[in-house]
Every structure is written in structure tokens, then in C-alpha cells.
């Protein structure tokens, strides 16, 4: 069964594991780095909005930053050579 959570529940910091799995699946399909990061975030946001109707993109970015060092990922990708 799919759970639904309120945006206030997520402000406490720890996301439910089921919701983190939804986030990771959405991130696998829409990698939020590079030139199109914000467009990918819209897709991630739309995916998570099914479970947390009042979630914000700021809350998603904040949680992703607890999982990954997104700044470092961007820095590494900026040094990649595209052929």
C-alpha cells in the first residue's frame, strides 16, 4: 500500500523510507544535475507530489543534499569532457 505524508511530517528531517525510495526512483529517471537540473526537478516534484501533495521543491532539494553532496557532483561533472 502506498503511504501519503504531510509536508509538515517531512520538516522533521527524517523522511519515511518508502518516500525515500520514491525519491531515489524519481532521481534515477531524472538526474537533477547539469544544465537540465531544474527541469528534472520538476519531474521529480511531480512524481513525489502523488505522495506528499504539499511538498515543495525546496524540501526535495534539501533532502537530496542530505543524501548527496550535490555541489561536489556538479563540480565533478563540470570537468567532464563531452564528445
| pLDDT tier at 81, thresholds 50, 70, 90 | low
Integer angstrom CA distances of residue 25 from 5, 7, 30, 81, 82: 18, 20, 9, 27, 26
Q: Give tens-digit pLDDT for 33-76.
A: 888 889 999 999 999 999 888 889 999 998 998 888 888 887 88
Question: What pLDDT is attached to residue 1?
Answer: 37
Question: Max CA-CA distance within the chain?
Answer: 45
Question: What pLDDT is attached to residue 82?
Answer: 61
Residue spans of the domains in the chain: they are 13-78
The rounded distance, in Å, linking the Cα atoms of 19 and 4 is 9
Question: What pLDDT is attached to residue 52?
Answer: 87
Q: Give tens-digit pLDDT for 3-31.
A: 666 666 666 567 888 999 999 999 999 98
- Return contacts of 41-50, CB within 8 angstroms, 24+ apart: 47/22, 48/19, 48/22, 48/23, 50/2
Amino acid at each position: 500500500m502506498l503511504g501519503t505524508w504531510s509536508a509538515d511530517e517531512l520538516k522533521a528531517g527524517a523522511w519515511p523510507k518508502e518516500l525515500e525510495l520514491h525519491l531515489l526512483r524519481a532521481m534515477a529517471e531524472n538526474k537533477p544535475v547539469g544544465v537540465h537540473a531544474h527541469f528534472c526537478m520538476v519531474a521529480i516534484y511531480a512524481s513525489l507530489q502523488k505522495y506528499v501533495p504539499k511538498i515543495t521543491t525546496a524540501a526535495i532539494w534539501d533532502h537530496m543534499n542530505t543524501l548527496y553532496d550535490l555541489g561536489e557532483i556538479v563540480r565533478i561533472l563540470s570537468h567532464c569532457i563531452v564528445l
